[in-house]
Amino acid sequence: MHLVARPIRREDLPALLDLCHSWERDDARMREIELEWQTIWDAGAMLGVVAEDLSQDNTQKVKAVMCAVGIEDDCYAAFVHDYEPYVLSKIRKRIDAGHSPLLKESDFGIKNAEDGVNMLICALGWEGKEHLTEPAANLRGFIVNSFVERHGGHKLRVLFGEVEADILDLAYRSGVKLLNNYAQWAKDRQMTTEPKRPYLVGNTREDALTTENYWLVRMFTYFPPRFHFTEPQREILLLARDGFTDYEIAQILGASPDAVKKRWVGIYHRVGRIMPGLLPTAGPTRRGAEKRRALLAHLRDRPEELRAFTRRRAK
């Protein structure tokens, strides 16, 4: 198995439904879930990664998936106290009614500059039915770490999501806490021992930073950015962090190679002015490559520098 991570795409939705095996239900419920995912995707708010096995040619390459969305404060508070479960269904109903509670990643700038973002984990799925044996445990670790690397660095207030009874213990071991057990709803339906009964679990920033779970602490660790890169600069840095060359970056952005080089000059000037000792100032002809390596290494440890940060203007 040779795993690589990449951003989730719309065509990954069938794999998402297949890998989230705790959702094994009748055909009608599965169709509802598919519609929920399509609605969320169409809203342009999905943050996610998939893990592909490049050693597989003719079989399903996607082996794990994790995705999330940003949620408005009032919506999160309602979910914690709601009588009924199935938060994705509730989100879809709000969107259909013209009152979307979702935040696009571009909307996170003000949240990062103020109180922070509420993030709902919409799906965490992996190949393998046995949760604690290979390949499931390895796939889960890989996809969670990949998600943190690509979508960490926001000022999280809370990270939460729904799980069902068969993986509730696994969720507890990851460091999350019970937020809503939908007790009366389950009792009314005589589901007190039903293995598919849902639970709402999660962590606030204060709780998460007291755990000894590395991925959870890393997801919630936040320092205000120092460089305040522009959006075009962040675009280049994110692509460079993922291993793309300047030529490939230019193709992806629809820009000329010279335009990409000019953005790098602006990036290095900004970094050198704010943190003079970070970048090498002398060396052989490949000094540009050395600067890039030094900067990207720093940004991997400080992902908040690659996230939007927008102070609200005083009225």
Tens of pLDDT, residue by residue over 73-94, are 999 999 999 999 999 999 999 9
What tokens does 114 get?
A: 């103020």
**97 and 182 together in one domain:** yes
Residue 91's domain is classified under what CATH number?
3.40.630.30
Q: Kindly give the residue spans of alpha helices, DSSP state H, lying in 22-104.
A: 27-42, 73-81, 87-96
In whole angstroms, how large is the CA radius of gyration of the chain?
Answer: 21
Residue 139 inside a domain? The answer is yes
**Band of the pLDDT at 128, cuts 50, 70, 90?**
confident
Residue 311 inside a domain? The answer is no
The whole-angstrom separation of Cα 21 and Cα 112 is 34
What is residue 26's predicted lDDT score, i.e. its pLDDT? Answer: 63
The whole-angstrom separation of Cα 24 and Cα 29 is 9
What is residue 30's predicted lDDT score, i.e. its pLDDT? Answer: 76
Residue 226 inside a domain? The answer is no
**64 and 31 together in one domain:** yes
**67 and 200 together in one domain:** yes
**215 and 301 together in one domain:** no
The whole-angstrom separation of Cα 149 and Cα 181 is 30
What tokens does 118 get?
A: 């509420």
**62 and 173 together in one domain:** yes
Residue 314 inside a domain? The answer is no
Is the Cβ–Cβ distance between 75 and 92 less than 8 Å? no
Domain boundary among 168, 189, 220: 220
Residues whose CB is less than 8 angstroms from the CB of residue 111 and which lie 6 or more positions away in sequence, other chains included: 70, 103, 117, 154, 155
| Structural domain harbouring 113 | 3-220
**Band of the pLDDT at 285, cuts 50, 70, 90?**
very low
Longest dimension (CA), the chain: 73
**280 and 136 together in one domain:** no
Q: Is residue 244 predicted with pLDDT exceeding 70?
A: yes
Is the Cβ–Cβ distance between 143 and 126 less than 8 Å? yes
**195 and 251 together in one domain:** no
Asked whether the whole model's pTM tops 0.85, one would answer yes
pLDDT digits (tens, 9 = 90+) for 23-46: 455 677 778 888 888 999 999 899
Residue 109 inside a domain? The answer is yes
Q: Is residue 251 predicted with pLDDT exceeding 90?
A: yes
Most confident of 4-13, 48-57, 155-164: 155-164
What is residue 253's predicted lDDT score, i.e. its pLDDT? Answer: 92
**242 and 279 together in one domain:** yes
**169 and 238 together in one domain:** no
Residue 236's domain is classified under what CATH number?
1.10.10
What is residue 289's predicted lDDT score, i.e. its pLDDT? Answer: 84
Q: Is residue 194 predicted with pLDDT exceeding 80?
A: no
| Across 275-280, average pLDDT | 90
Spell out where 55-212 has E strands. Answer: 62-71, 102-103, 117-126, 156-164, 177-180, 198-204
Residue 45 inside a domain? The answer is yes
**200 and 290 together in one domain:** no
Domain boundary among 220, 248, 270: 220
Is the Cβ–Cβ distance between 49 and 122 less than 8 Å? no
What tokens does 115 get?
A: 């109180």
The whole-angstrom separation of Cα 263 and Cα 276 is 18
Residue 313 inside a domain? The answer is no
What is residue 261's predicted lDDT score, i.e. its pLDDT? Answer: 92
Number of compact structural domains in the chain: 2
pLDDT digits (tens, 9 = 90+) for 148-171: 999 999 999 999 999 988 888 989
| Across 58-74, average pLDDT | 87
**156 and 103 together in one domain:** yes
**Band of the pLDDT at 272, cuts 50, 70, 90?**
very high
**Band of the pLDDT at 202, cuts 50, 70, 90?**
very high
What CA dihedral angle connects 152, 154, 156 and 160, to 10 degrees? Answer: -50
Domain boundary among 190, 220, 250: 220
* Average pLDDT of the residues of the chain: 88
The whole-angstrom separation of Cα 241 and Cα 235 is 10
**170 and 107 together in one domain:** yes
Residue 315 inside a domain? The answer is no
